[in-house]
């Protein structure tokens, strides 16, 4: 694998030198490479000077991959971590865990054994090569994450009388109606100046096949359209084997439901299948990284000052248990502290760097896990994984991808809110959040949702004590003004994390950022 | 002029019955693209449904690896322009709320904060104040 990768890289380099960028890009596309993230394999950190040391701040994925690779290369490495646990936002909550948010509300998690809530990351795109590489290297067992399920629901207060409908039905009716209308436009010669006669004929054929239109180019309730949207009575055996077609929705309702937004969501490169999750909870990845570097970590260390001078980096930290103040020194520092927190830590980095740190606000997701006594979505609604979307604050409920078909309980994701909806849920007490999630989620499974509910847990990222938010939120303006300053090595300090990447709010971004940061820091160390 | 401004924002509010969802900046933060959250009407409602997510129900904020400042008994609120400007522009982890809240909502919530939680700064913040501060100078 590694060997053929090297060969491929050498070949691409040769093509690039001979034919220029365009030829290189074409060759990469042909070889199926251009769409992947920028992972180029483990970093080259050869030639470390004996005794050279690096202090890593933060034991999330960015900090831990930096520590792992730097330590492996020969640096003396130490990690300071605010929490009593490694992993950072890579985290799962299990029965027996306790979580206290800012403001003091404490939740004692009571999920059944083997069930969990992933408050942060929960799904991994197949093209996040860096993360998949380390999962394989560190022995993290992965299983499919069921991202796209046609049989889940879409719900909008503005459509279908507020009744949820199956994604399959709404999406099929959207496509069918669009196909029919586009066919009419061709018939009415509206596209004669855009397309040749031959291409118009090909387009009509495509619309008929894609939209399930009849021979007259109409989208009607019949067995053909039922092949996409489902049947009133599905095909069976014996006497009543003959299927009965389903009725169509009004296009007005289909438009009002904005199902096209959900359809477009699944087209995002990062949301496309295949997606993965670790067996046993996303936190398994953080645990696997921690297993590699645990001897390097000092836990419960709250960083209160970061200083650098000609001789090295000095970090002052307080033990959050004892209150004891200590000093840690190293030649260099990889700072993987979230920007909102780092912004409040006194430091003597360059003014432009401090301005960049201060310029990036954080998002505010809320996730709520609800344990149900039985898996009614499977037994009653034939839903196995995937997401039911709603226009309510909770945004969606997502069905668990593990322990399928079991008689016992299941923990579903009862909310994955962002923006205004997340602010509303975050402002509630944990008990109020559960109540809101039950009230809103009941729209999908009336009657059973409250009845089967057993216990729940919520994490509002705006109140997470060690991040004060979910993810860094760049925009075009801040990228232009601050991004390169933020990622540049500032004498002896370099920043790492999803905030220092263009793969923001993904674990892949944290890892890619960190590998790039330590590669540049190593170069700086050799030049010193 | 002031009357005209208020009339315009009245129309804008009426035409915007729901809070806009922040546009997805990429990343795995998209719950559903179709969420429509009802807009809070009063200053107190804006506080409960937006500000409280971080600053807490008692406006005392919180402290962990870093601190969410208390708004309760906060002498910095004496100058109305200070909280208005923070809401408009954000600071550190706190995002700008200018895309989520209308000027009237910002004026109302600022007035609310400045007269509750142990703060007693009676002069109300007006829509015009907010508009003036949101216009680049």
Mark whether A277 and A387 lie in a shared domain.
yes
Asked whether the beta carbons of residue B35 and residue A270 sit closer than 8 angstroms, the reply is: no
Domain boundary among A429, A445, A463: A463
Mean pLDDT, residues A181-202 taken together: 97
A526: left (phi over 0), alpha (psi -120 to 50) or beta: alpha
Mark whether A446 and A375 lie in a shared domain.
yes
Closest CA to A212 of A225, A197, A195, A199: A225
Q: Is the pLDDT of residue B31 over 90?
A: no
Q: Which among B22, B25, B62 has the least Cβ separation from residue A103?
A: B62
Q: How far is B18 from chain A (nearest CA, A)?
A: 10
Whether residue B65 is contained in a domain is answered as no
Whether residue B135 is contained in a domain is answered as yes
Question: What is the C-alpha to C-alpha distance for residues B137 and B135, in angstroms, rounded to an integer?
Answer: 6
Closest CA to A141 of A285, A1, A317, A44: A285
* pLDDT at residue B34, rounded to an integer: 86
| 3 state SS of A315 | strand
Q: What pLDDT digit, counting tens, does each position of B71-105 carry?
A: 999 999 999 999 999 999 999 999 999 999 999 99
Angstrom CA distances, A187 to A95, A192, A414, stand at: 62, 9, 47
Q: Is the pLDDT of residue B17 over 60?
A: no
Which of A420, A421, A470 to probe by mutation at the B interface, max B CB count within 10 Å? A420
Whether residue B52 is contained in a domain is answered as no
Buried b (16+ CB within 10 A) or exposed e, B70-90: bbbebeebeebeebbebbbeb
Q: Is the pLDDT of residue A339 over 70?
A: yes
Interface residue B63 vs chain A (CB under 8 A): yes
A232 Cβ partners below 8 Å, 6+ apart?
A: A226, A243, A244, A245, A246, A247
Domain boundary among A463, A489, A509: A463
Structural domain boundaries enclosing A180:
168-257
Work out the pLDDT band at A35, boundaries 50, 70, 90: low
Mean pLDDT, residues A449-455 taken together: 98
Q: Is the pLDDT of residue A447 over 70?
A: yes
Mark whether A367 and A228 lie in a shared domain.
no
Q: Exposed (0-12), middle (13-18) or buried (19+): which is A139, by Cβ within 10 Å?
A: exposed
Mark whether A446 and A368 lie in a shared domain.
yes
Whether residue B93 is contained in a domain is answered as yes
Whether residue A297 is contained in a domain is answered as yes
Whether residue B12 is contained in a domain is answered as no
Q: How wide is the angle at C-alpha B10 spanned by C-alphas B8 and B14, nearest 5°?
A: 120
Mean pLDDT, residues A421-436 taken together: 98
Q: What pLDDT digit, counting tens, does each position of A115-169 carry?
A: 999 999 999 999 999 999 999 999 999 999 999 999 999 999 999 999 999 999 9
Which pairing describes strands A332-335 and A493-495: parallel, antiparallel, or unpaired?
Answer: parallel
CA A518 and chain centroid, separation: 24
Work out the pLDDT band at A36, boundaries 50, 70, 90: low
Q: Which has more pLDDT, B16 or A14?
A: A14
Interface residue B50 vs chain A (CB under 8 A): yes
Interface residue B41 vs chain A (CB under 8 A): no
- Reply yes or no: is the peptide bond before residue A270 cis, omega within 30 of 0: no
Question: What is the C-alpha to C-alpha distance for residues A463 and A371, in angstroms, rounded to an integer?
Answer: 23
Structural domain boundaries enclosing B133:
79-137
Q: Which has more pLDDT, A486 or B30?
A: A486
Contacts of A337 in chain B (CB under 8 A): 65
Question: What is the number of domains present in chain A?
Answer: 3
**What is the pTM assigned to this prediction?**
0.91
Mark whether A209 and A323 lie in a shared domain.
no
Contacts of B66 in chain A (CB under 8 A): 340-341, 343-345, 468
- Phi/psi of residue A161, nearest 5 degrees: 60, 25
Mark whether A516 and A431 lie in a shared domain.
no
- The three-state DSSP-derived secondary structure of A362-402 is ECCCEEEEEEECCCHHHHCCCCCCEEEEECCCCCEEEECCC
Mean pLDDT, residues A82-109 taken together: 98
Mean pLDDT, residues A254-282 taken together: 97
Q: What pLDDT digit, counting tens, does each position of A315-332 carry?
A: 999 999 999 999 999 999
Question: What is the C-alpha to C-alpha distance for residues A325 and A445, in angstroms, rounded to an integer?
Answer: 53
Mean pLDDT, residues A465-473 taken together: 97
With contact defined as beta carbons under 8 Å apart, do A262 and B32 qualify?
yes
Mean pLDDT, residues A481-486 taken together: 98
Closest CA to A335 of A313, A358, A359, A320: A313
Asked whether the beta carbons of residue B25 and residue A392 sit closer than 8 angstroms, the reply is: no
* pLDDT at residue B15, rounded to an integer: 37
Mark whether A343 and A450 lie in a shared domain.
no
Asked whether the beta carbons of residue A422 and residue B53 sit closer than 8 angstroms, the reply is: yes
Q: Which residue of A has its CA nearest to B96?
A: A361
Question: What is the token pair recorded at A282?
Answer: 């996303």
Whether residue B33 is contained in a domain is answered as no
Q: Is the pLDDT of residue A75 over 90?
A: yes
Mark whether A277 and A399 lie in a shared domain.
yes
How many Å is the maximal CA-CA distance in chain B?
A: 47
Q: How far is A361 from chain B (nearest CA, A)?
A: 4
* pLDDT at residue B30, rounded to an integer: 73
Mark whether A99 and A245 lie in a shared domain.
no
Closest CA to A473 of A294, A374, A314, A339: A339
Work out the pLDDT band at A388, boundaries 50, 70, 90: very high
Rounded to the nearest integer, the mean pLDDT of chain A is: 94
Mark whether A174 and A210 lie in a shared domain.
yes
Q: Is the pLDDT of residue A422 over 80?
A: yes
A97 Cβ partners below 8 Å, 6+ apart?
A: A109
Q: Which among B25, B61, B66 has the least Cβ separation from residue A474?
A: B25
* pLDDT at residue A311, rounded to an integer: 96
Q: What is the CATH number of the domain that holds A217?
A: 1.20.1440.240
Contacts of A264 in chain B (CB under 8 A): 33
* pLDDT at residue B2, rounded to an integer: 42
Asked whether the beta carbons of residue B22 and residue A363 sit closer than 8 angstroms, the reply is: yes
The percentage of residues in chain A with a pLDDT greater than 90, rounded to a whole number, is 92
* pLDDT at residue B23, rounded to an integer: 42
Q: Which residues between 8 and 37 in chain B have a beta carbon less than 8 angstroms from any beta carbon of chain A?
A: 19-22, 24-37
Q: Which has more pLDDT, A427 or A6?
A: A427
Mark whether A389 and A440 lie in a shared domain.
yes
Work out the pLDDT band at B21, boundaries 50, 70, 90: very low
What is the interface size between A and B, counted as CB pairs within 8 Å?
191
Least confidently predicted of A199-203, A385-389, A456-460, B25-29: B25-29
Whether residue B34 is contained in a domain is answered as no
Mean pLDDT, residues A282-310 taken together: 98
Whether residue A33 is contained in a domain is answered as no
Q: What pLDDT digit, counting tens, does each position of B81-90 carry?
A: 999 999 999 9
Q: Is the pLDDT of residue B60 over 60?
A: yes
Contacts of B32 in chain A (CB under 8 A): 261-262, 265, 387, 389-391, 395-396, 416
Mean pLDDT, residues B35-63 taken together: 95
* pLDDT at residue A41, rounded to an integer: 86
Q: Which among A392, A465, A470 has the least Cβ separation from residue B65?
A: A465
Work out the pLDDT band at A26, boundaries 50, 70, 90: low
Q: Is the pLDDT of residue A19 over 60?
A: no
Contacts of A423 in chain B (CB under 8 A): 49-50, 53
* pLDDT at residue B137, rounded to an integer: 58
Mean pLDDT, residues A461-479 taken together: 97
Mark whether A349 and A479 lie in a shared domain.
yes
Helix residue spans in A188-221 (DSSP H):
197-211
Question: What is the token pair recorded at A174?
Answer: 């959207």
Least confidently predicted of A166-180, A291-305, A487-501, B35-49: B35-49
Which of B34, B40, B50, B98 to probe by mutation at the A interface, max A CB count within 10 Å? B34
Q: What is the CATH number of the domain that holds A117?
A: 3.90.660.10
Asked whether the beta carbons of residue A463 and residue B67 sit closer than 8 angstroms, the reply is: no
Closest CA to A99 of A81, A113, A85, A114: A85
Q: Which residue of B has its CA nearest to A499?
A: B27
Q: Is the pLDDT of residue B6 over 50?
A: no
Prediction ipTM score: 0.89
Q: Which among A265, A302, A462 has the least Cβ separation from residue B54?
A: A462
Whether residue A395 is contained in a domain is answered as yes
With contact defined as beta carbons under 8 Å apart, do A12 and A30 qualify?
no
Domain boundary among A463, A484, A503: A463
Question: What is the number of domains present in chain B?
Answer: 1
Work out the pLDDT band at A38, boundaries 50, 70, 90: confident
Whether residue B131 is contained in a domain is answered as yes
């Amino acid at each position: 694998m590694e060997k053929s990768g090297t060969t491929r890289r050498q070949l691409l380099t040769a093509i690039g030198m001979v034919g220029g960028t365009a030829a290189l890009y074409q060759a990469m596309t042909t070889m199926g490479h251009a769409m992947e993230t920028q992972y180029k394999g483990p970093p080259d950190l050869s030639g470390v000077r004996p005794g050279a040391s690096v202090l890593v701040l933060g034991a999330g994925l960015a900090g831990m991959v930096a520590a792992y690779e730097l330590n492996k290369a020969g640096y003396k490495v130490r990690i300071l971590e605010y929490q009593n646990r490694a992993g950072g936002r890579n985290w799962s909550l299990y029965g027996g865990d306790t979580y206290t948010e800012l403001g003091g509300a404490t939740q004692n998690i009571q999920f059944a054994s083997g069930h969990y809530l992933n408050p942060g990351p929960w799904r991994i795109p197949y093209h996040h090569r860096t993360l998949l590489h380390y999962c394989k290297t560190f022995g993290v067992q992965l299983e499919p994450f069921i991202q796209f399920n046609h049989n889940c629901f879409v719900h909008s207060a503005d459509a279908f009388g507020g009744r949820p409908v199956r994604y399959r039905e709404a999406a099929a009716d959207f496509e069918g109606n669009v196909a029919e209308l586009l066919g009419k436009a061709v018939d009415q010669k509206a596209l004669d100046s855009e397309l040749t006669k031959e291409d118009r004929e090909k387009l009509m054929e495509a619309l008929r096949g894609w939209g399930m239109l009849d021979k007259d180019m109409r989208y009607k309730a019949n067995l053909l359209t039922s092949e996409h949207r489902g049947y009133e009575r599905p095909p069976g055996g014996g006497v009543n084997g003959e299927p009965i077609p389903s009725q169509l929705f009004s296009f007005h309702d289909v438009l009002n439901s904005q199902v096209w937004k959900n359809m477009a969501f699944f087209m995002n490169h990062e949301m496309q299948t295949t997606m993965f999750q670790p067996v046993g909870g996303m936190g398994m990845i953080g645990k696997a990284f921690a297993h590699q570097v645990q001897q390097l970590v000092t836990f419960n260390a709250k960083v209160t000052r970061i200083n650098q001078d000609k001789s090295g980096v000095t970090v002052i930290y307080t033990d959050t248990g004892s209150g004891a103040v200590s000093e840690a020194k190293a030649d260099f520092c990889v700072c993987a502290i979230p920007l909102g927190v780092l912004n409040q830590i006194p430091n003597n980095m360059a003014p432009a760097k401090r301005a960049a740190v201060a310029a990036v606000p954080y998002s505010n997701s809320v996730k709520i896990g609800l344990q149900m006594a039985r898996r009614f979505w499977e037994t009653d609604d034939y839903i196995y994984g995937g997401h039911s979307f709603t226009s309510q604050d909770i945004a969606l409920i997502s069905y668990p991808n593990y322990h399928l078909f079991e008689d016992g309980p299941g923990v579903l994701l009862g909310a994955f809110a962002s923006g205004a909806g997340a602010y509303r849920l975050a402002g509630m007490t944990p008990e109020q959040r559960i109540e809101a999630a039950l009230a809103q989620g009941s729209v999908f499974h009336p009657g059973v949702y409250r009845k089967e509910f057993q216990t729940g847990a919520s994490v509002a990222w705006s109140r997470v004590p060690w991040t004060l938010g979910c993810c860094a939120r760049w925009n075009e303006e801040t990228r232009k003004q601050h991004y390169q300053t933020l990622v540049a090595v500032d004498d002896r300090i370099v920043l790492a994390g999803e905030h220092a990447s263009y793969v923001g709010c993904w674990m892949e971004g944290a890892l890619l950022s960190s590998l790039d940061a330590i590669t540049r820091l190593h170069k700086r160390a050799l030049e010193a | 002029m002031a009357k005209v401004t208020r009339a315009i924002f009245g129309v804008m509010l009426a035409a915007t019955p729901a809070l806009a969802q922040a546009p997805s900046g990429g990343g795995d933060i998209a719950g559903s693209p179709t969420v429509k959250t009802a807009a809070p009407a009063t200053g107190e409602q804006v506080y409960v449904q937006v500000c409280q997510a971080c600053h807490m129900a008692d406006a005392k904020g919180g402290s962990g690896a870093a601190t969410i400042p208390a708004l309760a008994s906060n002498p910095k609120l004496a100058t109305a322009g200070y909280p208005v400007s923070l809401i408009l522009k954000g600071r550190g982890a706190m995002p700008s709320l200018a895309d989520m809240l209308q000027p009237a909502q910002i004026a109302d919530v600022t007035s609310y904060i400045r007269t509750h939680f142990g703060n007693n700064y009676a002069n109300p913040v007006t829509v015009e104040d907010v508009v003036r501060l949101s216009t680049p100078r």
